[in-house]
Structure 1
Amino acid sequence: MRASGYYDRVSESANSEPKAPGGIGAFIANHPTAIAAVVAALVFVLLAVGAVFAGIAVGSNSSSAENGAEEVTVDSRSQPDANPAAAAIRTCSVQGLASVAAFPSLVGVVTDAATGDVLWGRSEATAASPAHIVTALTGAAALQALGPDTRISTKVIDGSTPGTIVLVGGGDPTLATTNASFYRDAPQLSDLASQAMTRYEELHPGEPITQIVLDSTLWNTSDAWDPNWPERERTGGYHSYVTALMINGDRADPTAAISPRGTNPVKSAGEAFAQAAGLPAVSFTTGAAVGTTVLAEVKSQPVSILVEQMLLSGDDSLAESLARLVSLKLGLNGSAASLTQAIPSALADAGLTDAGTITTTDGSGLSPQNQAPPKIIADFMSQGATGSGAIAATFAMLPVAGESGDLYNRFEGDAAAASGQAKAKSGWTNQEHSLGGVVSAADGTQLAFAFYSIGEGISQDARTALDNLAAGVYECGNNLSNY
């Protein structure tokens, strides 16, 4: 007889002898005891599982009945309203550009100018010194509070006694002694003197002028220099004392952007006026005008032009004067201390959300006590690029990378790709270099950014490194990663 597998067929012939059954039947026949044991075990398992499920069903029904709950079915289960949107995975990194040795430390942010979304950030919500980026804030505050068409007056008032006139400063540092002044189309001191002498002689024929009162009382003359400003900023030609009466930004050379400044701008203005008026023997005193008869008046260029000049050249004297005038316009006293309230208040009026997170102790950004989180600077720039009003008007005046203002000779070499593609305000002190603006990226995305590199011994290399970082943002566009 042939051994047979489970699925072998058994063939039988009508003439053959009967054979023992094969396959499963043969296996059962040959192992009856084992088969019985297996069957018994299977029956036990099935009975146990059934009992468990019966217990669960009974418990569930009992609980539902007691709590009055409806039976939950597949159809009644809550379903999501919509599938979650796919999230973009950004892969372009500027981490290497942000980690160069030229940066002693770096804080900053890059945002989508249209949405405000943060694409890249390093301590972006922590307040730090933005350096001269503050002048952009001052410019917007001036346009908002003073108005773009406002002009600043310098006047000559008839004195309270015969032979006396009063030269009254109105806060215009651009009053010029030459047509070749650093300040474009500035009011001329010679015009003021000529008008004053003609009118005085009409009112007081034969009465010589012997005394000129110098009135610089629009704000406190003792509040002219922040103790946090290094004196070398004045002697080196970048920053003057902040007085309401001044000529040429108190420059030794009225035609030069950088020229040493003096120690008494008010006296210098008085002496220059006397020379222009042909009064060599006159004496000077200081005080406030009492009379109201105006002998002469000249006016500055509109505030909009002054803001543009300030932003393109980084003129500290103009920034400080505009900041003090904002304070006075808002009903404050024009002091340096009042700027912590005046500038943020004007920016809030201009629509800048969270303007209260900004601390401004001057108008130029020279003091390290100025504090603004990089995110609020990026928000300011975003609003400028996409909005309207004073902030947008200020943004439109910012230097263009590689083309104008204090950025005209920057964005070269590795950063050249972004030349002409960013509007920004730069800043620098001996402890910091900064850059904030908006770049129109290679993929068409507008990205707002603010970068501050801060540390002792910072070098000019940080300026180039900031340009390279901004250019990296330009290349990445909306694919910019936060890593």
Structure 2
Amino acid sequence: MRTCSVAGLAADPRLANLQAQVMNAETGEVLFDRGGLTASRTASVMKVVTAAAALAVFSPDDRFPTTVVKGSEPGSVVLVGGGDVTLSRTATGNETVYPGAAHLDDLARQVRAAWDADPSNPPLTKLILDSSYFGGETWHASWAPTERELGYMPEITALMVDGDRDDPYANTSRRGADAVGRAGDAFASVLGGVSVIERGTAPDGATELGRVWSPTVAQLIDKSLVVSDNTVAEMLARQVAVAVGTGNTFAAIDPAVRQALETYGIARGGIRVIDGSGLSPDNAVPPAYLTRLFAKVEAREGNLGVIRDGLPIAGQRGSLSYADRFAGGNAVAHGAVFAKTGWIDTGYTLGGIVHAQDGTTLTFAIYALGDVSQITADAKVAIDTLTTGLYRCGDELSNE
């Protein structure tokens, strides 16, 4: 009989409509369950699912290209977006919010050198922007429009610079209304000589004039997890869809991610994937799926160690190191909780791994679902307190 109860903590009204599951990662035994089999909105904990799908399809060292090719008209080149949202308009040598990002001035130097090396080329005067690698709507209908103005999400296009931030050095920065246009203006500026910028597509078999590469998949996942970068998460989800072959739109993400997740042999239990970031309230993942996935993450199965290394850590790293997380009495769990945070207008979430004080490794997922205007940000405190209770109980955690 297990005797350590967190029932009182789980009944905290700040948790609103609670769903949760806790599992012993080593034995697979479920120790605590409150609606764990019901698929519900995850908020940004969805980024773990997106990362797992990406690691099932790509190597951690894979990168994504941005290229420039010769246009079909004399004096024209085509900037071809390959879905790298981290490509930067800042000068080479500067580090933006995206470590390892490629720079447009590097690409422009390659293009100018290749163009000038052929004496038959006329002056380079026209730039064509090709963002066709991603298709469909650029903003999901279920996303709150304020996310763009507040600086958390841009329009999703295959060609953009600095995640379309006004400030390339700020994680949270207002996004624009024309990501492709901003990228084109920035490239034309460093390329020089361009008098006309148009939208179009690259001709088949066009001569490549330059190429730069994104950060690695491992670096992208780290960024998406540690500070909950929505833009990178959407990039990864769309890249998975393209690679799997389901398409390049929002609608292509769900079948692609679910297919990729088959790699891990976990029953998906009604998973529905609307986006890669978790911003949509229409995403649905059961807590039970996450506890099993996190057990594989902790075991570093396949390439899932990349996720383990990218998770925020209570009191030490990323979104769990902020002043409003694991404070006061919950600080006892500093360094022992490795988890992804989540927040949307209709709930707070947390899911990950606990190294309990008795030495047991637990995996958990906690959803506090409801009207956030009613449950307020105090829901985060209640989630942290419940998680700290898991830390204290370890393998003695009771479901009663």
TM-score by length of 1: 0.79
State the match for 1:471 in structure 2: 388
Q: Distance in 2 between matches of 1:403 and 1:205?
A: 58
Larger Rg: 1
> CA offsets per residue over residues 134-176 of structure 1, 9 Å max, x none?
1011112112202111111000001112111000000100001
Give 2:71's aligned amino acid: G
Distance change in 2, residues 1:400/1:230 (3 Å): same
Q: Distance in 1 between matches of 2:119 and 2:221?
A: 40
1:56-455 correspondence runs (5 A): 89-178=1-90, 179-204=94-119, 207-220=122-135, 222-279=136-193, 281-349=195-263, 351-355=264-268, 357-409=270-322, 410-455=325-370
Q: Distance in 2 between matches of 1:199 and 1:386?
A: 48
Q: Distance in 2 between matches of 1:260 and 1:420?
A: 33
Q: Is the 8 A contact 1:130 1:372 kept in 2?
A: yes
Q: Distance in 2 between matches of 1:337 and 1:185?
A: 30
**Unaligned ranges ≥5, structure 1:** 1-88
**Unaligned ranges ≥5, structure 2:** none
Q: Distance in 1 between matches of 2:269 and 2:304?
A: 16
Comparing 156-165 with 92-101, greater Cα deviation is found at 92-101
Q: Is the 8 A contact 2:300 2:308 kept in 1?
A: no
Give 1:153's aligned amino acid: P
Q: Is the 8 A contact 2:16 2:368 kept in 1?
A: yes
Q: Is the 8 A contact 2:52 2:261 kept in 1?
A: yes
Give runs of ≥4 in structure 1 deviating > 6 Å.
none
Q: Is the 8 A contact 2:341 2:350 kept in 1?
A: yes
Give 1:152's aligned amino acid: F
Comparing 326-335 with 95-104, greater Cα deviation is found at 95-104
Q: Is the 8 A contact 1:103 1:462 kept in 2?
A: yes
Paired residue total: 393
Q: Structure with the greater relative contact order (CA < 8 A, sep ≥ 6): 1 or 2?
A: 2
SS of the residue corresponding to residue 15 of structure 2 reads coil
Question: Shift of residue 352 of structure 1?
Answer: 3.7
Give 1:319's aligned amino acid: A
1:36-55 correspondence runs (5 A): none
Q: Distance in 2 between matches of 1:166 and 1:204?
A: 19
Q: Is the 8 A contact 2:115 2:121 kept in 1?
A: no
Among candidates 458, 462, 465, match of residue 379 of structure 2: 462
Q: Is the 8 A contact 2:354 2:391 kept in 1?
A: yes
Question: Shift of residue 397 of structure 1?
Answer: 1.9
Q: Is the 8 A contact 2:125 2:194 kept in 1?
A: no
Question: Shift of residue 390 of structure 1?
Answer: 2.6
SS of the residue corresponding to residue 310 of structure 1 reads helix
Q: Is the 8 A contact 1:158 1:291 kept in 2?
A: no
Q: Distance in 2 between matches of 1:130 and 1:167?
A: 36
SS of the residue corresponding to residue 107 of structure 2 reads helix
Question: Shift of residue 311 of structure 1?
Answer: 1.0
Q: What percent of counterpart residues are identical?
A: 40
Q: Distance in 2 between matches of 1:279 and 1:257?
A: 33
SS of the residue corresponding to residue 340 of structure 2 reads strand
Q: Distance in 1 between matches of 2:62 and 2:362?
A: 33
Q: Distance in 1 between matches of 2:217 and 2:305?
A: 15
CA RMSD of aligned residues (A): 1.4
Q: Distance in 2 between matches of 1:92 and 1:325?
A: 44
Comparing 230-239 with 455-464, greater Cα deviation is found at 455-464
Q: Distance in 1 between matches of 2:185 and 2:76?
A: 15
Q: Is the 8 A contact 1:309 1:315 kept in 2?
A: yes
Q: Distance in 1 between matches of 2:302 and 2:295?
A: 13
Question: Shift of residue 279 of structure 1?
Answer: 3.1
Q: Distance in 1 between matches of 2:206 and 2:62?
A: 21
